[in-house]
């Protein structure tokens, strides 16, 4: 909207989007990372984005950040198991 109003995604749509993100990440990182870890890291990333003016991009941004954290976690676990 051009009149300065903030567009917010209805909470049920945001919830559905984040549930889909969580499911994708659980599938992508299983069996090495449990679903509780994915849920926790995703929730932390969403919390960081809580002040976003437009919620349309929150699921995408949270998914990318969570994926990076999960990849880092996976790398650390691999290094620790080698050493």
The model's pTM is 0.80
Using one digit for the tens of pLDDT, what is the confidence trace for 4-56? 444 455 588 889 999 999 999 999 999 889 999 999 999 999 999 988 888 88
Distance, CA of 81 to CA of 75 (rounded, Å): 10
d(CA 26, CA 21): 9
* Contact residues for 56 (Cβ-Cβ < 8 A; gap 6+): 7, 9
Listed in sequence order, the DSSP H helices in the chain are 11-29, 35-48, 58-82
């Amino acid at each position: 909207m051009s009149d300065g109003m903030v567009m917010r995604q209805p909470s049920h749509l945001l919830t559905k989007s984040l549930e889909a993100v969580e499911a994708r990440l659980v599938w992508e990182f299983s069996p090495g990372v449990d679903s509780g870890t994915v849920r926790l890291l995703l929730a932390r990333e969403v919390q960081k984005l809580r002040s976003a003016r437009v919620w349309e991009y929150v699921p995408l941004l949270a998914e990318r950040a969570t994926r990076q954290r999960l990849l880092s976690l996976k790398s650390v676990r691999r290094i620790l198991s080698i050493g």
